[in-house]
Structure 1
Amino acid sequence: MTGNSATSTATYIEETTDQEGAGFAQTYLTPGAGVLYALLNTVLSATASQFMSLGSQAGIPGLQLMFLTKFGETLAVLLFLPFFRPKLTTENGRQTLLMVLSTITENLGAIFQYMSFVFVVPGIAFGIIKGSMPLASACLSFLFLEETVGVVDCFGIVLNVAGVVVVAYGLITENTSSTQRLTASILLPLAATFGRAPSLVIARSLIGVQKVSVLTVLFYANLPGAVVLLGLTYLFETPIWAMSAQTVGYVIGLCLCVCGSHFATKLSLKTEKAGITATIKTFTIPLTVLLDYVVLSELPSPLKSGGVVLIMFGTGVVTVYTWWRHRKETLHKNFMQSLDFDK
């Protein structure tokens, strides 16, 4: 009798612990899944930018590095396809058009983004790209998906825009390079924004609204991109395939970080609006500036640091508010379910 009682008590404690663990995950982690994926993207993107710079300093051409990342992503997607078996065909002409546009904008944005690292340190490049992305993404998302952002989110986006203006102004006033190089260092990141922002909105439409598989979107974006970049590499550059062990390490790190960051972004778009995801991703900027100092010994000026602070504050406001809003919705849903109106 005593043994049965002990067994029942142990079983009760185990079930209670499991329920509490599930309740914690459902209350605190599940509402912030999209936020967590977006934050994971920032860490991986910031790290990828450093591997890109180190690979470039090691003598590997920029287009070749981008080809290797696209090739690595394609291999990763092909590896996952047999396990998840997503639908690789589109359902209608509109979805086909969106998939084609997603492929074009994704690859153009990637080319402009990583080429900008050739002209400016990654922290400043990301300052312009990531800082201008939220406003562009929110506007495009409103126009094409009718997704709106609240007052608090707008406040965070305004702070991000202010931060990127400060960073760009610091770049202009402190840069002593030629006018041509300075112009390229500003125009290339802005061109990346006008490629990345539409790509983000289109991916949100495909993945978040039409429920197309993340693997499907990445498959069609990476396979043509790898082929085109390989051709561009041989057309405009002299690729280097004999690399030192250290350079191979840079390339592998770059491929892993870029692949992971793209997966994280697409998973975030399953639940979060394009403008919100873009805003949270601006946290890449302070992380990259920090890594610029640690890896490349590039110390930001006070003006650029002020811009980074504005960006961090704006990103923090949107991140915390988004998580709180989703948690509130989850608690309300759980409360309504606890009332059990169906019985």
Structure 2
Amino acid sequence: MATTCNEEMTDREGAGFAQTFLTSGAGVLYALLYTVLSAVASQFMALNSQAGIPGLQLMFLVKLVQTLAVAFFLPFFRPKLTTESGRQSLLLVLSTILENLGSVFQYMSFIYVVPGIAFGIIKGSMPLASACIGFLFLKETVGVVDGFGIVLNVAGVAVVASGLITENTSSTQHLTASLLLPFAATFSRAPNLVISRSLIGVQKVSVLTVLFYADLAGAVVLLGLTYWLETPVWAMSAQTVGCVIALCLCVCGAQFATKLSLKTEKAGITATIKTFTIPLAVLLDYVVQSEFPSLLKFGGVVLIVFGTGVVAVYTWWKHRKETLHKEFMESLDFNK
């Protein structure tokens, strides 16, 4: 009998530890899920572009699938689709605009530079931008350890950018696009992270509500831009169709993962953890496209990855400590 009780207690303790582990790192895990899906999506974007599918058309298809996915979940979760104030409406409009601009700039950059290097610039520079904007508008501060990780990220971005410039063998126009598009993505996505954090994490607006307006507006606008600026290609081979479907599903999953991460994590922390996309994209560049960065670019990537690791581990440890403290205080139950 005593043995049975001990086994039950051990099982409960094990289940409690697993629950604490997942709860403490939920935001981190969602951000890490984003890194995997986004790195894979970048390769499909590059492959589809090489197959002759225009970039804006690809982004339209992505937004269309995202809109359909959100519409599928709406009847189940029934989120409130209206805002509660004029300020909230303004933030929702800004989030919609910046979400679509960031997506277009990010995925268009993969046409001019391999995804690993493009992500090196985008994800490496976002933590500093997100942390600064988050401090200005949400008064969210970053600790010493997190700040150290962000500094390493910025140093890594500087090294990667200098590698692009010194090793450039293409035209000046191509080099300019290789640098400007990733930085444009950064300065669209960084403020959007902060706005999304404010809406989802602070004001408790539903993830589905934020995505509904962003994806619907993006699909409509991108369809018009596709016919205005490009010549759409609708006749595709079976392999290309498969790559397009895989791209849409990966980007859709990555978008949901980002927004869910922002429910519990600060914008600067989420942006820092998402830089794990870089080593994954570099690895896939080598596997899929037989491209590997030079020693200079690789050194910058290593700096970014190390800075990301510091922030990710410290963030999970801090949340786990807070969760364990809360559970301990509840177990004392002073009201009894």
Q: Give the TM-score, by structure 2 length.
A: 0.97
Determine if the alignment matches structure 1 residue 255 to structure 2 residue 248.
yes
* CA distance in 2: counterparts of 1:224 and 1:14, whole angstroms: 55
The C-alpha deviation readout for 1:70-118, integer Å capped at 9, x for no partner, is 0010010001111111111111111100000000011111111111111
Q: How does 1:178-217 map to 2 (within 5 A)?
A: 178-217=171-210
Write the distance in 1 (CA, Å) between the matches of 2:35 and 2:173. Answer: 30
Q: Distance in 2 between matches of 1:18 and 1:97?
A: 49
Which residue, out of 78, 96, 101, partners 2:89? 96
Distance 2:113 2:165 in 1: 12
CA gap of 1:224–1:14, structure 2 versus 1, over 3 A, is farther
Cα distance in structure 2, aligned partners of 1:297 and 1:17 = 50
Corresponding position: 1:312 with 2:305: yes
Specify which of 330, 333, 339 is matched with residue 326 of structure 2. 333
Unpaired stretches in structure 1, ≥5 consecutive residues: none
1:198-232 Cα offsets, whole Å, 9 max, x none, are: 11000000000001111111101100000000000
Query: In 2 relative to 1, CA 230–17 (structure 1 residues): closer, same or farther, beyond 3 Å?
Result: farther
Structure 1 residue 15: deviation in Å?
A: 4.9
Structure 2 residue aligned with 1:166: 159
Q: Secondary structure of the equivalent of 2:235?
A: coil
The amino acid that maps onto 1:34 is: G
Alpha-carbon distance between aligned partners in 2 of 1:139 and 1:9, rounded to the nearest angstrom:
56
Q: Which residue in 1 is equivalent to 2:282?
A: 289
Report the equivalent of 2:226: 233
Q: Which runs of at least 4 in structure 1 moved beyond 3 Å after TM superposition? A: 12-18
Partner SS for 2:25: helix
Task: Report the counterpart of residue 138 of structure 2 in structure 1.
Answer: 145
Alpha-carbon distance between aligned partners in 1 of 2:99 and 2:270, rounded to the nearest angstrom: 16
For the pair 1:267 / 2:254, whether they are aligned, the reply is no
Tell me the C-alpha RMSD between the 2 structures: 1.4
1:267 maps to a residue whose letter is L
Which letter does structure 1 place at the counterpart of 2:19? Answer: Q
Residue equivalent to 1:299: 292
Q: Using the alignment, how far apart are the partners of 1:21 and 1:94 within structure 2?
A: 45
Q: Structure 1: how far apart are the matches of 2:18 and 2:236? A: 45
Superimposed CA distance per residue, residues 33-73 of structure 1 (whole angstroms, 9 cap, x where no aligned partner) = 00000000000000000000011111110000000100010
- SS of the equivalent of 1:238 reads coil
Give the C-alpha shift of residue 17 in structure 1: 5.8
Output the CA distance in 2 between the equivalents of 1:299 and 1:48.
Answer: 18
Gaps of 5+ in 2: none
SS in 1 for 2:252: helix
Shift of 1:271: 0.3
The residue identity in structure 2 corresponding to 1:91 is E
2:123 to 123, 127, 130: 130
Greater Rg, structure 1 or structure 2?
1
Taking the aligned partners of 2:8 and 2:137, their CA distance within structure 1 comes to 47
**What CA deviation, in whole Å up to 9, does each residue of 1:107-141 have, x standing for no partner?**
11111111111111111111111111000000000
Which whole-Å CA distance do the structure 1 matches of 2:148 and 2:195 have between them? Answer: 24
User: Which residue matches 2:68?
Assistant: 75
In 2, Cα distance between equivalents of 1:19 and 1:204: 34
Question: Could you tell me which amino acid in structure 1 is paired with residue 49 of structure 2?
Answer: S
Return the alpha-carbon distance in structure 1 between the equivalents of residues 96 and 166 of structure 2: 36
Following the alignment from structure 2 to structure 1, what is the Cα–Cα distance between the partners of residues 119 and 165? 15
- The alpha-carbon deviation at position 9 of structure 1 amounts to 7.7
Matched, 1:56 2:49: yes
Mark the CA change 1:216 to 1:15 in structure 2 (over 3 Å): closer, same or farther.
farther
